[in-house]
Chains A and B, each alone.
Chain A
Amino acid sequence: MNYFPDEVLEHIFDFVGSHKDRNSVSQVCKLWYRIESYSRQKVFVGNCYAIGPERVAERFSGLKSITLKGKPHFADFNLVPPDWGGFVYPWIEAFARSRVGLEELRLKRMVVSDESLELLSRSFPNFKSLVLVSCEGFTTDGLAAVAAYCRQLKELDLQENDVEDHRGHWLSCFPESSTSLVSLNFACLKGDINLPALERLVARSPNLKSLRLSRAVPLDVLQRILIRAPQLLDLGVGSYLHDPDSENYNKLVTAIQKCKSVRSLSGFLDVAPHCLSAFHIICPNLTSLNLSYAPGIYDNELIKLLRHCHKLQRLWILDCIGDKGLEVVASTCKDLEELRVFPSDPYVGQAAVTEEGLVAISRGCQKLNSILYFCQQMTNAALITVAKNCPNFVRFRLCILDPTKPDAVTQQPLDEGFGAIVQACKDLKRLSLSGLLTDQVFLYIGMYAEQLEMLSIAFAGDSDKGMQYVLKGCKKLRKLEIRDSPFGNAALLMDVAKYETMRSLWMSSCEVTLGGCKALAKRMPGLNVEIINENDQMEFVGGCDDDRQKVEKMYLYRTLAGQRRDAPEFVWTL
Chain B
Amino acid sequence: MEGGVAYEQGLNLKATELTLGLPGTGETEGQGGVRNNNKRPMPTSETNEEESQALKAADRGRAQIVGWPPIRSYRKNSLQEKKMYVKVSMDGAPYLRKIDLKVYRGYPELLKALEAMFKFAAGVYSEREGYKGSEYVPTYEDKDGDWMLVGDVPWDMFMSSCKRLRIMKGSEARGLGCGV
Residues of chain A having any CB pair with chain B under 8 Å: 74, 76-79, 134, 160-162, 188, 269, 292-293, 295-296, 342-349, 374, 399, 401-406, 411, 432, 438, 456, 458-459, 462-463, 483-486, 488, 509-511, 544, 547-548
Is the Cβ of A79 less than 8 Å from the Cβ of B67? yes
- When A77-B68, A345-B79 are in contact, do A484 and B3 touch as well, CB less than 8 Å? no
Assembled-state Cα–Cα distance A349/B70 (Å):
12
What's the minimum C-beta distance from B34 to chain A, rounded to whole angstroms?
Answer: 6
| Residues of B55-99 contacting chain A, CB below 8 A | 59-60, 64-76, 78-80, 82
- When A404-B42, A509-B38 are in contact, do A458 and B79 touch as well, CB less than 8 Å? no
Assembled-state Cα–Cα distance A419/B163 (Å):
52
Assembled-state Cα–Cα distance A401/B64 (Å):
11
What's the minimum C-beta distance from B127 to chain A, rounded to whole angstroms?
Answer: 25
Assembled-state Cα–Cα distance A346/B60 (Å):
10
| Residues of B1-50 contacting chain A, CB below 8 A | 1, 3-4, 7, 33-40, 42, 45
Assembled-state Cα–Cα distance A390/B81 (Å):
37
Is the Cβ of A343 less than 8 Å from the Cβ of B60? no
Assembled-state Cα–Cα distance A509/B71 (Å):
19
Which chain B residues lie closer than 8 Å to A293 at the CB level?
75, 78-79
What's the minimum C-beta distance from B3 to chain A, rounded to whole angstroms?
Answer: 6
Chain B residue at minimal CB-CB distance from A438: B33
Which chain B residues lie closer than 8 Å to A404 at the CB level?
39-40, 42
Q: Which of B4, B37, B66 contacts A486 (CB 8 A)?
A: B37
Chain A residue at minimal CB-CB distance from B60: A348
Chain A residue at minimal CB-CB distance from B72: A76
What's the minimum C-beta distance from A520 to chain B, rounded to whole angstroms?
Answer: 18
For the complex of A and B, the 5 pairs showing the least CB-CB separation, nearest first, are A77-B67, A160-B74, A79-B67, A77-B70, A76-B72
Interface centre among B4, B36, B68, B72 (most CB of A within 10 A): B68
- When A295-B79, A486-B37, A547-B3 are in contact, do A160 and B60 touch as well, CB less than 8 Å? no
Number of B residues, CB within 8 Å of A: 34
Assembled-state Cα–Cα distance A510/B7 (Å):
19
Is the Cβ of A344 less than 8 Å from the Cβ of B7? no
Q: Which of A76, A295, A405, A488 contacts B70 (CB 8 A)?
A: A76
Which chain B residues lie closer than 8 Å to A511 at the CB level?
1
Is the Cβ of B78 less than 8 Å from the Cβ of A78? no
Is the Cβ of A462 less than 8 Å from the Cβ of B35? yes
Is the Cβ of B37 less than 8 Å from the Cβ of A296? no
Chain A residue at minimal CB-CB distance from B45: A411
Which chain A residues lie closer than 8 Å to B82 at the CB level?
295-296
- When A76-B70, A403-B68, A548-B7 are in contact, do A346 and B42 touch as well, CB less than 8 Å? no
- When A343-B71, A344-B79, A462-B34 are in contact, do A79 and B66 touch as well, CB less than 8 Å? yes
- When A347-B80, A405-B42 are in contact, do A342 and B37 touch as well, CB less than 8 Å? no
Chain A residue at minimal CB-CB distance from B36: A486
Which chain B residues lie closer than 8 Å to A488 at the CB level?
1
What's the minimum C-beta distance from B64 to chain A, rounded to whole angstroms?
Answer: 7
What's the minimum C-beta distance from B29 to chain A, rounded to whole angstroms?
Answer: 12
What's the minimum C-beta distance from B1 to chain A, rounded to whole angstroms?
Answer: 8
Which chain B residues lie closer than 8 Å to A161 at the CB level?
74
Assembled-state Cα–Cα distance A485/B38 (Å):
9
Assembled-state Cα–Cα distance A342/B69 (Å):
10
Which chain B residues lie closer than 8 Å to A459 at the CB level?
37, 39
Which chain A residues lie closer than 8 Å to B73 at the CB level?
76, 78, 162
Assembled-state Cα–Cα distance A438/B34 (Å):
10
Q: A74-B70, A343-B69 are in contact. List 15 more A-B contacts (CB 8 A).
A: A76-B73, A134-B74, A162-B73, A162-B74, A188-B74, A293-B75, A293-B78, A342-B75, A346-B79, A349-B69, A403-B65, A432-B70, A485-B37, A510-B37, A511-B1
Chain A residue at minimal CB-CB distance from B65: A403
Assembled-state Cα–Cα distance A484/B73 (Å):
20
Assembled-state Cα–Cα distance A472/B79 (Å):
41
16 intermolecular pairs with C-beta atoms under 8 Å apart = A74-B67, A77-B70, A343-B71, A346-B71, A348-B60, A348-B105, A349-B64, A401-B69, A403-B39, A403-B65, A404-B40, A458-B70, A484-B38, A486-B34, A544-B3, A548-B3
Assembled-state Cα–Cα distance A463/B73 (Å):
32
Assembled-state Cα–Cα distance A511/B4 (Å):
12
Q: Which of A134, A401, A403, A458 contacts B72 (CB 8 A)?
A: A134
Chain B residue at minimal CB-CB distance from A405: B42
Which chain A residues lie closer than 8 Å to B64 at the CB level?
347, 349
Which chain B residues lie closer than 8 Å to A347 at the CB level?
60, 64, 80
Is the Cβ of A458 less than 8 Å from the Cβ of B68? yes
Is the Cβ of A463 less than 8 Å from the Cβ of B34? yes
Is the Cβ of A346 less than 8 Å from the Cβ of B69? yes
Assembled-state Cα–Cα distance A462/B37 (Å):
10
Which chain A residues lie closer than 8 Å to B1 at the CB level?
488, 511, 547
Assembled-state Cα–Cα distance A343/B1 (Å):
39
Which chain B residues lie closer than 8 Å to A548 at the CB level?
3-4, 7
Assembled-state Cα–Cα distance A547/B7 (Å):
12
Chain A residue at minimal CB-CB distance from B38: A484
Is the Cβ of B71 less than 8 Å from the Cβ of A342? yes
Which chain B residues lie closer than 8 Å to A405 at the CB level?
42
Assembled-state Cα–Cα distance A406/B42 (Å):
10
What's the minimum C-beta distance from A373 to chain B, rounded to whole angstroms?
Answer: 11
Q: Which of B7, B37, B59, B70 contacts A399 (CB 8 A)?
A: B70
Which chain A residues lie closer than 8 Å to B105 at the CB level?
348
What's the minimum C-beta distance from A408 to chain B, rounded to whole angstroms?
Answer: 12
Is the Cβ of A349 less than 8 Å from the Cβ of B60? yes
Assembled-state Cα–Cα distance A346/B4 (Å):
37
Which chain A residues lie closer than 8 Å to B37 at the CB level?
459, 484-486, 509-510
Assembled-state Cα–Cα distance A486/B59 (Å):
24
What's the minimum C-beta distance from B163 to chain A, rounded to whole angstroms?
Answer: 18
Assembled-state Cα–Cα distance A160/B74 (Å):
6
What's the minimum C-beta distance from A74 to chain B, rounded to whole angstroms?
Answer: 7
- When A296-B82, A345-B79 are in contact, do A462 and B33 touch as well, CB less than 8 Å? yes
Assembled-state Cα–Cα distance A76/B73 (Å):
7
Which chain B residues lie closer than 8 Å to A343 at the CB level?
69, 71
Assembled-state Cα–Cα distance A185/B34 (Å):
49
Assembled-state Cα–Cα distance A84/B132 (Å):
59
Chain A residue at minimal CB-CB distance from B78: A293
